[in-house]
Chains A and B, each alone.
Chain A
């Protein structure tokens, strides 16, 4: 008899949509072992290949079944330094779980949930493997403390380098802090994972903007960093480019989420940074950021929160779990609606006018292309949160002569090496806005090339 996939317990939708507590509660040990036992232990495991950092998934699953939880954790940690985070935010259905053979005819193994279990177990039990780092006293600098930078830092540190991470904001973690809300990724988890990196001896410097406070040239010449990794992410919001976009009440998701997550507006006035959204909130976009924004607006007390998305339900790029959770929390999906103009009074937004779309042929993304119909629908709103993507921040590019970028502002690399010798880059600043795990994969892989570069220079 086939065993059903274990389901992760979640908080009651009605209750949870009033607070910022974590929605998904995680597996117990017993649940994890039951779920692990569903693994078919394939001869050619496709899950490893589908994981951007190639975690040895079948191995840690075996170890869970055998009750060797510490071993399982270290198997995981070897390839993924932020398991408690990735277990929560990876789009597993498109990666490991999407490749799982069980998924062909039924439900794949809940690999993400198992990863999270191990990550949480390690934090709870303070698991540490004695690391035998041999210091080589060669300085490397990392720009940005998001997933790409953290992964690069860990890999470089384990190779013995003297690693300093520079962060522009006043807290470390990048998008893990300012972007992803607590109900999906509690901030104490991020803190705990970062603390583990500090224990490896990585230096963390906040409030330093590379390109402004210190230029790339100064890092090399004045501070003697032998290689630099740029992992500054994609922080520049994409605009709709429609009339009324600068009315008060129209936010980019970055601003809205940064106010609530990083500046803790939800605790206003205890935290003095306010946020103001009113009762009727439209969120434009269909990705994870849009889901985060909509669910955050609901938690701040908005009565009516709806997603405006120009394609259909199947085309939503967000993680499946997030879409399900949003539906449970009564976020409405007003599909095939493409905003064309904001209507305001005295520069404050009152309505958003949308063109009704229809779906045509499949485009290069494999999704059916939205086509205009010439008919419109207008919604009354108190605020609108635009969540249609992010591009790399241009500060570093503008400040660094010779740093080549493409037409989207993404840094051009060859084997993670930018157009400037000794300066490497990876993550969203190269790929455009993507996922935590892809950024981590890039940070980890780049370390190999940085190490090679430094060694070649030495000889």
Chain B
């Protein structure tokens, strides 16, 4: 069984959790993810492996939908019904000397193992870390320890610069140049960051988190159009060079079950 060894709230919506999962941890690398089911009827939900030891993995999740709320109800000592991984391709760590990374909201979680891998190679890293408000900023201290510079912004101005990550990013790009960029966050944020980076002729890697069922290339729910070709985020990704990704199509695919998700969450709140 997959026992929860540690758990703490990073803010009201986001939890950090360490789970015993030796078979997942054994071969895990930065960029890998797991799929878990909270209980015996649970949905299969994909989550990035943020850190791992020989026998444990760390996940960070936002209690946004029905299944992540159910996950949030579990406590230390409880077990997760099913957990499988490591899934996906490990992040392609590029041969560069400087990186500007951009993380929006809980996107800061999947970014963390990637930046650690870049840091280990001695890459100069600057990060734009954005969130709705001060309380939704996560991993700020960890990133301050990891990055050469961390630029913070919040939508409401309660911490750091007021405004979206793109506002801050544009300002930085006008002053400095970087070899490469990584953006992880909501699809619309990634779309806008990529467009901005493009205007500075800066290539971007993104990490996609579409709806998945099996996570092994079987169902095709997670497909992504890149330059008109189809890729499966679960086995070809979840990290991709952003060039040519059809974000608009992805946004529709991501929201296709929005109404049903709402029905489920209502049931949870009424309990």
Contact = CB atoms under 8 A, between A and B. Distances in A.
Contact of A168 (B83, B84, B263): B84
Contacts of A258: 213-214, 218-219
Interface residues of B, number: 43
A236 B225 contact: no
Interface in B212-265: 213-214, 216-221, 223-225, 230, 235, 246, 248-249, 252-253, 256-257, 260-261, 263-264
Contacts of B216: 168, 209, 235, 393, 395
A276 B249 CA distance: 17
Interface string B52-89: 00000000000000110000000000000111111100
Contacts of A276: 256-257, 260
Interface in B183-230: 213-214, 216-221, 223-225, 230
A269 B217 contact: no
Contacts of B42: 272
Contacts of B230: 239, 245-246
B27 A207 contact: no
A254 B221 CA distance: 9
B13 to A, nearest CB: 19
B24, B66, B82, B249 pick with most chain A CB within 10 angstroms? B249
Nearest to B41: A271
Given A263-B44, A269-B267, A395-B217, A213 B84 contact: yes
A268 B259 CA distance: 12
B43 interface: yes
B23 interface: yes
B116 interface: no
A324 interface: no
B26 interface: yes
Contacts of B43: 263, 272-273
A31 interface: no
Contacts, number: 125
A255 B86 CA distance: 21
A215 B235 contact: no
A394 B217 contact: yes
Contact of B220 (A213, A252, A272, A273): A252
B82 A213 contact: no
B37 to A, nearest CB: 6
Interface string A243-257: 001111101101100
Nearest to B221: A255
A358 B219 CA distance: 32
A59 interface: no
A252 B82 contact: no
Contact of A212 (B85, B225, B248, B263): B85
Nearest to B32: A212
B253 A246 contact: yes
A268 B37 contact: no
Nearest to B84: A207
B41 A213 contact: no
Interface in A167-209: 168-170, 178, 206-209
B246 to A, nearest CB: 8
Secondary structure at chain A's binding surface: helix, strand, loop or mixed?
Answer: loop
Nearest to A390: B218
A347 interface: yes
A348 interface: yes
Given A170-B37, A276-B260, A206 B218 contact: no
B260 A347 contact: no
Contacts of A262: 213
B223 A270 contact: no
Nearest to A393: B217
Contacts of B66: 272
A346 interface: yes
A259 interface: yes
Contacts of B82: 170, 206-207
B218 A236 contact: yes
B228 to A, nearest CB: 9
Contact of B218 (A208, A251, A393): A393
B268 to A, nearest CB: 9
B253 A347 contact: yes
Given A170-B37, A268-B260, A213 B85 contact: yes
B176 to A, nearest CB: 36
Given A168-B84, A170-B37, A212-B86, A248 B256 contact: yes
A252 B217 CA distance: 12
Nearest to B213: A258
Interface in A106-151: none
Nearest to A273: B43
B213 A255 contact: yes
Given A170-B82, A346-B252, A395-B235, A270 B220 contact: no
B71 to A, nearest CB: 12
23 contacts: A168-B214, A170-B44, A212-B27, A213-B23, A213-B26, A213-B84, A218-B26, A236-B218, A245-B230, A246-B223, A255-B219, A258-B219, A262-B213, A263-B44, A269-B260, A269-B267, A271-B41, A272-B41, A272-B42, A274-B257, A276-B256, A393-B216, A395-B235
Interface of A: 168-170, 178, 206-209, 212-215, 218, 235-237, 239, 245-249, 251-252, 254-255, 258-259, 262-264, 268-274, 276, 346-348, 393-395
> Which 6 A-B residue pairings sit nearest by Cβ, starting from the closest?
A274-B260, A255-B219, A347-B252, A207-B84, A235-B218, A170-B82
Given A213-B23, A246-B224, A395-B216, 4 more contacts: A169-B84, A246-B225, A252-B219, A269-B260
